[in-house]
Structure 1
């Protein structure tokens, strides 16, 4: 899966003020296992991506298309 997807999962989680521990618990997995997903150390299955999107309360499409610069526009 595209590296950007893993980064987007982490960024969305952080913007929603959710901890890794909370998301991991919701997914019924260890925090270290979930951390591997955010770092892109493990391949992400479609079913796991769908579970993550439910916990983050966003669509899977949103995870793919998320762009943090839309929220933090640094135009000076």
Structure 2
């Protein structure tokens, strides 16, 4: 099974790109509730579905695995 942070990353990337669940579900030709289950990690994500999601989100699969929202914030400590 794919690591749970992948599901969280899919949701965060979708939100940062201002895409709705409805839009992504439609692009994937699946129901909104089915897509919601992917974002919640309620279903096992197949490699083929992950490829489809990466295309809809316009990011690489590697990006989905390595995505860290903290890269968008300057997290250096003041010295």
TM range (shorter): over 0.9
Pick the structure with greater CA Rg.
2
Residue by residue over 1:38-76, the C-alpha shift from the partner in whole angstroms, topping out at 9 and shown as x without a partner, is: 000000000000000000000000000000000123556
- Where do 1:1-76 residues align within 5 Å? 1-74=2-75
- Gaps (5+ residues) in structure 1? none
The alpha carbon displacement at 1:29 in A equals 0.2
TM-score (normalised: structure 2): 0.92
Aligned pairs, how many?
76
RMSD of Structure 2 on Structure 1 (CA): 1.0
